């Protein structure tokens, strides 16, 4: 195990069999985390990039079996922010010191290509980097948003196992998901993707293939989160995703994609107190605090038990800043684009 980890840290290459072996080895977790933290420091430094998350609509046309925003969930209190409200939140995010905002929503058809492009243009005028996370659209739509100034796009593949994907994302096509990622790359976005850990039927080999896929597409950002079962979904009775497996996955991602931006996701802390700190010391370098205000934070109910829903955006910014400093790290002051090239 130690030799595998040392080779991964040095060459950033492992075989599917080797990755599977490490993912399936709880005894390797701490060594993986230490190696990943060292690679993180070498390639992306001690800065933690904060991205202000704006959850602007919880209306979704899709019906994913694990997501509380799924179309058929009648228990969700639906909402949609208008353009002025979204831009106002971005302006406040700028005031809190964020350099990037992440515009995230369900797949809400109200936000046509031009409507969202107009919002992106207004936010770019504030000198903010813009990340979009709004699901599957046409290449033409992605091109319009890129021309409007969008810098990054997050579209998690969830799993590279096509059969699992289509089982838990009914009515969706795995091939179309791949098409979207190819189009985003060709259009010049920084491309973010990622896996959901704990889908029934998923195993360590499937996750190893996910990592190799992220290497193959040279992903700029990879977000990993555990399944947190939502009682209002078909997977409400499933076992939660394993925190420790998720942590090993994050560490291996840092070892094998050393330049990538890797977030410590909110879901990790929903499972384990101070989970984000643990992930930040296991290879991660990004946190996405919520800058959505008021009751909308509660209504964006992807999963139950989501942390910080009662906090204000100012609380979240101050809290994360203090926690990052307590780790001996600092809040990065730049926009956090991926750094290509040699390690430091």
Q: How far apart are CA 339 and CA 199, in angstroms?
A: 32
> 159-163, 166-170, 320-324, 338-342: which range is least confident on average?
338-342
The model's pLDDT over 246-270, given as tens digits with 9 standing for 90+, comes to 999 999 999 999 999 999 998 998 8
Q: Using the predicted structure, report yes or no on whether residue 338 has a pLDDT greater than 60.
A: yes
The mean per-residue pLDDT over the stretch 279-297 comes to 95
Q: Which domain holds residue 250?
A: 2-331
Query: Across all residues in the chain, what is the average pLDDT?
Result: 96
308 labeled part of a ligand binding site: no
- State pTM to two decimals: 0.96
For the stretch 213-217, contacts whose Cβ atoms lie closer than 8 Å and that sit 24 or more positions apart, written own/partner, are: 213/157, 213/160, 214/253, 214/257, 214/260, 215/256, 215/257, 217/181, 217/185, 217/191, 217/193
Give which of 39, 56, 40 is closest to 103, Cα–Cα.
56
Per-residue model confidence (pLDDT) at position 343: 64
Per-residue model confidence (pLDDT) at position 306: 83
In this prediction, residue 76 has a pLDDT band, given cuts at 50, 70 and 90, of very high
Per-residue model confidence (pLDDT) at position 25: 98
The answer to whether residue 89 is domain-embedded is yes
Q: What's the N-to-C CA distance of the chain in angstroms?
A: 26
The model's pLDDT over 102-128, given as tens digits with 9 standing for 90+, comes to 999 999 999 999 999 999 999 999 999
The answer to whether residue 129 is domain-embedded is yes
How many domains, the chain?
1
Q: Using the predicted structure, report yes or no on whether residue 307 has a pLDDT greater than 90.
A: no
How deeply is 322 buried, as exposed, middle or buried, from its count of CB atoms within 10 A (0-12, 13-18, 19+)?
exposed
The answer to whether residue 193 is domain-embedded is yes
177 labeled part of a ligand binding site: yes
The answer to whether residue 338 is domain-embedded is no
**Cβ(232)–Cβ(73) under 8 Å?**
yes
Give which of 46, 25, 41, 49 is closest to 258, Cα–Cα.
41
The answer to whether residue 298 is domain-embedded is yes
CATH number at residue 242: 3.20.20.70
The answer to whether residue 288 is domain-embedded is yes
The answer to whether residue 337 is domain-embedded is no
Per-residue model confidence (pLDDT) at position 341: 78
In this prediction, residue 283 has a pLDDT band, given cuts at 50, 70 and 90, of very high
64 labeled part of a ligand binding site: yes
Q: Using the predicted structure, report yes or no on whether residue 344 has a pLDDT greater than 60.
A: no
60 labeled part of a ligand binding site: yes
Residue 173 CA: distances (Å) to CA of 62, 133, 160: 12, 18, 12
């Amino acid at each position: 195990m130690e030799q595998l980890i040392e080779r991964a840290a040095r060459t950033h290459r492992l075989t599917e069999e080797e990755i599977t072996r490490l993912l399936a080895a709880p005894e390797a977790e701490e060594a993986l985390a230490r190696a990943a933290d060292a690679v993180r420091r070498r390639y992306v430094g001690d800065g933690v990039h904060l991205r202000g998350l704006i959850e602007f609509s919880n209306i979704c046309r899709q019906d994913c079996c694990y997501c509380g925003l799924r179309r058929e969930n009648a228990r969700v209190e639906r909402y949609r922010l208008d353009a002025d409200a979204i831009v106002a939140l971005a302006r406040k995010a700028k005031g809190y010191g964020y350099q990037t905002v992440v515009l995230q929503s369900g797949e809400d058809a109200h936000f046509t290509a031009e409507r969202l492009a107009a919002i992106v243009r207004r936010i770019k005028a504030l000198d903010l980097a813009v990340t979009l996370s709004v699901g599957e659209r046409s290449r033409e739509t992605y091109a319009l948003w890129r021309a409007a100034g969008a810098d990054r796009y997050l579209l998690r593949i969830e799993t590279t196992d096509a059969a699992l994907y289509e089982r838990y994302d009914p009515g969706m096509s795995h091939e179309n998901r791949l098409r979207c990622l190819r189009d985003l790359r060709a259009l010049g976005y920084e491309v973010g993707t990622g896996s959901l850990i704990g889908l029934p039927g998923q195993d360590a080999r499937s996750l190893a293939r996910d990592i190799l896929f992220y290497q193959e597409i040279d992903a700029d950002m990879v977000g990993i989160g555990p399944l947190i079962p939502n009682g209002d979904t078909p997977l409400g009775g499933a076992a939660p995703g394993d925190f420790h497996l998720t942590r090993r996955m994050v560490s291996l991602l840092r070892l094998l994609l050393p330049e990538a931006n890797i977030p410590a996701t909110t879901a990790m802390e929903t499972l384990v107190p101070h989970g984000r700190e643990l992930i930040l010391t296991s290879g991660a370098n990004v946190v996405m605090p919520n800058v959505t205000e008021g009751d909308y934070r509660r209504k964006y109910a992807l999963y139950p038990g989501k942390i910080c829903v009662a906090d204000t955006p100012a609380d979240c910014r101050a809290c994360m800043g203090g926690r990052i400093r307590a780790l001996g790290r600092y809040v990065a002051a730049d926009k956090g684009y991926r750094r290509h090239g040699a390690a430091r």
